[in-house]
Structures are given as structure tokens and as C-alpha cells.
Amino acid sequence: MSQQDDKPHLPAPSIWPVGFAIGIVCLLVGLVLGSWFAVAAGAALGAVFAFLWVRDLTRDLKPADAPVPGAASAEADAAEEDAEEIATYDRSVFLEGATLGLGAVIGGLVTLPALGFAVLPSFESHKTHDIDLGPISNFPETKWMIATFLMDPAQGEVSSRTAFIRNNGTTTVTGKPEPSFTIIYSRCAHLGCPVQPNGLISASQKKEVNGATLIPVFPSGFGCPCHGGQYDTEGNRIAGPPVRSLDRFAFSIVKGHLILGTLFSVGTVEGTGGDAKITRYTSAFPGVHVDGVERWLYPIPVPGR
């Protein structure tokens, strides 16, 4: 004769879930930082603690008709006869397993999309396209031009960008004479609003070159109309809430044409024109500190365009 415990199955307190959580955290941090050692360590840690956790949860699960240790021999014989029958579990055990399984499914449906949005961007390519702005003769020496162009013509107007370009003339910083340009991105370093030049814009002299629009301008600096951020003509922040200088584009001269390359972020600019010393960093989103003590608040490079 078998005995049945109708009390619900309550597993003993365990530290295994804590270890499993730590392993998952290590795995995710490794994915974001690109550290495969941390990914492997987190996966191994999570697997070990998950196994120990599951073992603890299932250790006390017994069939409802399992023989009771120390019972009479008659009861043991009856239990052996019943062993051929299909083992069953009481209702409380079934409800517990169903609840845990449903909770796991719901948790996965809720957390996996969020984890995907958090982790996958670190694996995405943020390649920029080289932009041909035509012959450098389109950019008179020491003069500013507003250039509007498409970063990716295949995407159309959604990829339209604006840069403020000044021909600095010839510089010998690298030891040999070569053209120098200051190319400042119009995205505010505060929240990304479009920065405007503080000065006269000669719209009547607008011209189209290789799909880009060039307009002469005479700025005394640049300002953000959204929140009052102000920058000097080198893009240094001089007032308002921006956290750094305006971003810039790298450039090259190919067969006499000005080619815009990679976008990069700037901490500060010392000097002017071709003699300026620029603290250059990987392109980051607006609002992200790239230098100073505050940069430790952003240990993971945040890509931006």
C-alpha cells in the first residue's frame, strides 16, 4: 500500500540561481565588450549552475505511488507489482512544473527581444561611404561652404547629411605640403539637433556638384536652435549643454577631388585650421562624453553616424 504526500513540493533555498544569474551577466557583458573569454566563462558558469539548480529542483520529485522506505514487506511486494504500471505524479507536482515551465516561456518572450536590442548593435557594421564632393577648386581657400549630401544614395533622402567645410590652404604638419580642410558635422553633440552657422548664408550662389549641394557661408561660429548649444569656428563647445566638440569627417584628396571619409568624434581642438591639434575618438552618439573624467561613465564605445 502506498502513501501519498499531498503537501506542495517546496524546494529548499539555494544559491544556484545566483550563480546562474552571474554567469548570464558575464556572458552578456562579454558580448557587448567583444571579449570572447568573458563570453566563454559566463556560458560555462551559467551551464554549471543551471545544472546544479535543476538537480536541486528535481531531487525531491517522486512518483505518487513510490514505496515508502521502512514499510512492511507486504507493502514492498505490492509496490514491486505496481512498478510495472505507468508512474504518475500528484497534482501539486504537475501544477508546479507547469507553472515553472510557463514562467520560463513568458520570461523568454519578454527578455529575449530586449537582450537582442541591447547586444546585437555591438555586432552591426557602421561603415560609412566615401563621398566625392568634386574638385577642391569648388572650395575657395579660407572660405566656408555648407555641403549637403547623401551618405548612402541607395537609401535616398533619409541618409541626407550636412557638413561645414573650410579650405585651410596648404599645411606642412606631416612634413610635406598638402591640402588641409576643416570638415565639421552639423549634428549637435547634445541631443543631435541640426546645428546652424551663425552668419550670412549666400543661398544665391548655391551649386550642385556630384549630387551634393554647396552653399557659401560666413560663420562666426555655430549654434544649435534647439537647446542653445554654441560652438566656435573650430567646433569647440563654448556655451550651452553639449558635452563635447562637434564631430568631424576625415577626408582625402583623390585626383584633385575632395573625398569625405569616416566620421569621428572630437574632444577638444587646440589651434585653428591646418595647424589645429585635434583629440580624435571613435564616432559616438550625441550626449556621450569621450574625454575627461566623465568618459568612465561610458566604458563601452557607442557607435554613431
Instruction: Record the pTM.
Output: 0.60
Residue 194 backbone phi and psi in degrees, to 5? -75, 120
| The CATH number fitting domain 131-297, selected from 1.10.1200.10, 2.40.50.220, 2.102.10.10, 2.60.40.1180 | 2.102.10.10
Domain-wise residue ranges, the chain: 16-122, 131-297
Which cell numbers hold the place of 69?
522506505
How many residues does this entry show for the chain?
305
Residues of the chain below pLDDT 70: 1-14, 32-35, 59-91, 93-94, 112-129, 173-174, 297-305
Per-residue model confidence (pLDDT) at position 257: 92
User: What number of helices (H) and strands (E) belong to the chain?
Assistant: 4, 12
Rounded to the nearest 5 degrees, what angle is found at the Cα of 283, between the Cα atoms of 282 and 285? 130
How far is the C-alpha of 202 from the C-alpha of 131, rounded, in Å? Answer: 23
Q: Cβ(45)–Cβ(26) under 8 Å?
A: yes
> What sections of 83-122 are H helices per DSSP?
91-119
Q: Biggest alpha carbon distance in the chain?
A: 107
The burial of 125, by beta-carbon neighbours within 10 Å (0-12 exposed, 13-18 middle, 19 or more buried), is given as exposed
Per-residue model confidence (pLDDT) at position 200: 92
How far is the C-alpha of 248 from the C-alpha of 165, rounded, in Å? Answer: 10
Cα Rg, the chain, nearest whole Å = 33
